[in-house]
A and B are shown apart, each in its own frame.
Chain A
Amino acid sequence: MTGLRYVYAVCRPFGAPLQVQLTGVAGDPPRTLTHHGLVAVVSHVPERDFAEEPLRRHLEDLDWLTETARAHQGVIDALTTVTTPLPLRLGTVFHDDSGVRIMMEAREEDFRRTLDRLEGRVEWGVKVYAESEPQESVRPAQKPASGRDYLRQRRMQTRSHEEMWQKAEAFSTRLHEVLSAFAEDSRMHPPQNPALSKATGRNVLNAAYLVPRANSEEFVELVDRTKGELPGMRIELTGPWAAYSFAGETT
């Protein structure tokens, strides 16, 4: 009984060994499985957690999901330092090694094409947050004296809110233009959920940029220069990630 095979990524053979202390999902250190000149990075995982029913149940459990997602990302991250991995979506599980080999054979051409496209590139995440409150000056200084007063104040508040969002949007659009002109490719993601990100302010831009490793430092500087350009805007940079957002076939 050797359990199931959880696959993290497919990549080309890499010389450097993975970090010894690296533990993958279910605490199993990732191993490499070479087939037809490609490498699948896999962990042996127990059926009691990764067979269809338990896996489905676990995905509803935030603690389990968080732990597994971090472990998955940890392995991808380690791979990113030694090669250009094609990250698979969380929860790609096979019965045994031969199942993994069959999959690698079936997708061989895809993998090679995508590996060629992404070779030497990394992903950078850029998020812009707008502080959600309008400036102090437009808040009503005193209680409205009349219904008409009240309505006027409401109108002013609404207008200043709108102006702020317009500014935030214009700023994000311009930033995205600058960054995508530098990057090889870009993707817009939906704004993040504050309950998960624990971030303050409203997420007005959530984008990913595909950048050659060699140009990464310059990209980071480009982002850094825009910080503090517009008051009330906060810019967050994450990465370098494996090219998660660019690994799919869709463009």
Chain B
Amino acid sequence: MTTPSRMPEPYGQGSGANLADILERVLDKGIVIAGDIRINLLDIELLTIKLRLIVASVDKAKEMGIDWWETDPALSSRARRDELTRENAELRERLARLEELEPGRAEKKEAP
């Protein structure tokens, strides 16, 4: 039987919540309001901050064997990802056009 009015004890929150849990919420979520002091956190998005943190301590991270950023797609800039997506779409479109233009080309090629 649960007691609806009672909240369960916090799980891993407060001082125990990991830094990423807190940062992703206070920096990346919540309501965005332009204050009098104009700091655009969208410019300093969490990813950028993470990247900067890593760049600042790259040697230390490498010592610890942390090298995920070299392969982590999340750390490539959003712009770069968009660029790739766009390029992919373009290539697919061109391929489709080519296939339309030359139906049966593949079969011909394979024929002896």
Contacts A7-B35, A196-B20, A237-B12 given; does A218 touch B2 at CB 8 Å:
yes
> Which chain B residues have a beta carbon within 8 Å of chain A's beta carbons?
2-8, 10-15, 17-33, 35-39, 41, 44, 47, 49-50, 52-54, 56, 61, 66, 68, 72, 74
Number of A-B contacts (CB under 8 A): 169
Complex Cα distance, B25 from A220, in Å, reads: 20
| Residue from A52, A60, A217, A244 in contact with B25 in the complex, judged by beta carbons closer than 8 Å | A244
Tell whether, in the assembled complex, residue A62 and residue B30 are in contact, meaning their CB atoms are under 8 Å apart: no
Complex Cα distance, B10 from A77, in Å, reads: 10
CB distance from A224 to the nearest CB of B (A): 10
Tell whether, in the assembled complex, residue A66 and residue B19 are in contact, meaning their CB atoms are under 8 Å apart: yes
Known: A89-B41, A195-B61, A245-B25. 16 other contacts (CB 8 A): A62-B56, A69-B23, A73-B22, A93-B37, A99-B36, A114-B31, A125-B21, A192-B18, A193-B20, A193-B68, A194-B68, A196-B50, A218-B2, A220-B11, A237-B12, A240-B8
User: Would you call A88 an interface residue if the criterion is a C-beta within 8 Å of the partner chain's C-beta atoms?
Assistant: yes
Tell whether, in the assembled complex, residue A89 and residue B10 are in contact, meaning their CB atoms are under 8 Å apart: no
> Which chain A residues have a beta carbon within 8 Å of chain B's beta carbons?
4, 7, 10, 50-52, 55-56, 59-60, 62, 65-66, 69-70, 72-74, 76-77, 86-95, 99, 103, 107, 114, 122, 125, 189-199, 213-218, 220-221, 236-241, 244-245, 247-248
A sample of 29 cross-chain residue pairs with beta-carbon separation below 8 angstroms, ordered by A number, consists of A7-B33, A73-B25, A77-B14, A86-B30, A87-B25, A88-B30, A89-B33, A90-B26, A90-B41, A93-B35, A93-B37, A94-B36, A107-B33, A189-B28, A190-B47, A193-B50, A195-B68, A197-B21, A213-B7, A215-B4, A217-B3, A217-B8, A218-B2, A238-B13, A238-B17, A239-B11, A240-B13, A245-B25, A248-B29
Residues of A within 8 A of B56 (CB): 62
| Residue from B21, B26, B28, B38 in contact with A52 in the complex, judged by beta carbons closer than 8 Å | B38
CB distance from B80 to the nearest CB of A (A): 16
Tell whether, in the assembled complex, residue B30 and residue A87 are in contact, meaning their CB atoms are under 8 Å apart: yes
Interface centre among A89, A191, A213, by most chain B C-beta atoms within 10 angstroms, is: A89
